[in-house]
Every structure is written in structure tokens, then in C-alpha cells.
Amino acid sequence: MKLLQDRIRQDGQVLTETVLKVDTFLNHQVDPMLTMEIGKAFAQKAESAGVTKVLTIEASGIHFAMATAFTLGVPFLYAKKKKAVTLTEDLYTTEVFSFTRQESFQVSVSKRYLNAEDRVLIVDDFLATGDALLGLVEIVRQAGATLVGVGAVVEKSFQDGRAKLEAAGVEIHSLARIRSMSPETGVTFIEETLT
Ligand code: 5GP
């Protein structure tokens, strides 16, 4: 997605060779126009897949799930993160290791909002090590629902998240795929798009 790639080049801050800061437009201060375009791009990819629910994880996936679900005309659901979940009987839960925080947490979704009839599109802001998205895939599996695919706004293709998701049989659509980055030379994308 050219609009997104241009914005990452313009406003993204490469902190290290593995961490990209995008909090002026994607995940702290948020550009709503760009967010709606991102939602449309995910929705367009999935338009014939009969999606009944868009699933993400709090907090930085929520606005992308909202924009995608709005375009598709379906509800969205965000998994909640907690240090430890005690009462789990009404919940689908799984454990996820956070790349940015370097700690594990529990992710949960109420059984009331996801079931075997659902066709789920998962979206999130970043695909890095893939652990967050794999956690959501596991939640969909626990619900017995059908996973239509995964949409990542930014994929750091030099990390192993895509390989892990592909090994789990998941179809991935990333809007900006970063081949490499460094504070000195900036960001290089895979499949530079012209549109
Ligand atoms: P994972 O490693 O599980 O694929 O990434 C989990 C989460 O870490 C992402 O949803 C995102 O919120 C955060 N994350 C991973 N890499 C980066 C990064 O380079 N920059 C920012 N801002 N967040 C990241």
C-alpha cells in the first residue's frame, strides 16, 4: 500500500534495526484517514470470504479492526490482555509473549462472542515474531471458527512471524512489508507498490 509506505518513510522513526516507531500516525496519535484506508484495503482482500467477525488484540489493533469491520459491515472483537486470568470457564484464553515488553501475558475472548459458525478475519498493527497473531489464531481454533486470514498493517519481514504463521497454514496479507531497516539508512520495503 503506497500511501502507507510513503507515510512510514516520512514519519516512521527507525529506533534500532528491529524496532520501528510509528506513534505519530499509527499506534499512539492516530491518523483516522489513513486508518480508514487501511481498513478498506483489508476489507477488499476479504470481501468474498463471507467474514462474520474481525478479531484483533488490544490496544493498537483496535482502530484497524474497527475500520475493517466498518467497511465489511460486521462486528469486530478485541482480545483482552491480562497478566493472569483466574476465571477462565467463559473465556477462550491463550498465552502470548510480547516482543516489545519482553514478558508473557494471557489473551482472552468471551465465548459469548465467537463460535463455530463464525468466519474470522484477524488484523493487527505489526507482524514481528508472530506471537500475538498466533495467539489470536489459537483463540479462533478454540472457538471452532473458520479463519479466513490475517492482515498485518506493517510486517517486519526480516523477523520470523510470517514463517511461523505460514507453517500454521494461515494466509497473510501485509500492507507494508519491511525487508530491512536501520537508523542510518531508513526502511527498505519488499514489493514496492506503485498504486
Ligand atoms: P509479535 O512479535 O507478536 O508479532 O508482535 C507483537 C506486537 O508487538 C505487535 O502487535 C506490535 O504492537 C508490537 N511490535 C512488534 N514490533 C514492533 C515495532 O517494530 N514497532 C512497534 N511500534 N511495535 C511493535
Distance CA 114, CA 128 (A): 26
48 within some domain? yes
- 75-84, 136-145, 178-187: the lowest-pLDDT one: 75-84
Mean pLDDT for 1-24 is 97
Q: Is the pLDDT of residue 157 over 70?
A: yes
Report residues whose beta carbon is within 6 angstroms of any ligand 1 atom. Answer: 19-22, 27, 60, 99-100, 124-133, 161
The model scores a pTM over 0.90: yes
Give the mutation target among 8, 26, 64, 99 for probing the ligand 1 site: most ligand atoms within 8 A of CB: 99
- Note whether residue 17 is domain-resident: yes
Ligand 1 atom at minimum distance from 27 CA:
22
Percent residues over pLDDT 90 in the chain? 90
Assign residue 115 the CATH number of its domain: 3.40.50.2020
Residue 124 CA to residue 130 CA, distance in Å, equals 10
In a domain, 25, yes or no: yes
Report helix, strand or coil for 160: coil
Mean per-residue pLDDT over the chain, rounded? 95
What pLDDT sits at residue 192? 61
Q: How far is the CA of 58 from the centre of ligand 1 (A)?
A: 12
Average pLDDT over residues 2-19: 97
Atom of ligand 1 nearest to the CA of 20: 19
- How close is the Cα of 102 to the center of ligand 1, in Å? 11
CA distance 173 to 183: 26
Q: Residue 131 annotated as binding?
A: yes
Strands (DSSP E) contained in 7-156 are 13-14, 20-21, 53-57, 76-82, 91-98, 103-110, 119-127, 146-156
User: In terms of residue numbers, what domain contains 159?
Assistant: 2-190
| Domains: count for the chain | 1
As for the ipTM of the complex, it is: 0.97
Q: In which band, very low, low, confident or very high, does the pLDDT at 193 lie, cut at 50, 70 and 90?
A: low
Please report whether residue 195 resides in a domain: no
- Nearest atom in ligand 1 to the alpha carbon of residue 132 is 3
Take residue 61 and report the three cell numbers written for it.
Answer: 489493533
Average pLDDT over residues 170-190: 97
Cα–Cα distance list, 60 to 27, 96, 125, 166, 173 (Å): 5, 15, 6, 23, 18
Within a domain: 147: yes
pLDDT beyond 70 at 132: yes
**Segment 78-112, tens digit of pLDDT:** 999 988 777 778 999 999 998 778 889 999 999 99
Tens of pLDDT, residue by residue over 117-131, are: 999 999 999 999 999
CA-61 nearest atom, ligand 1: 10
Residue 174 is assigned to a structural domain of this protein: yes
Ligand 1 centroid distance, CA of 126 (Å): 5
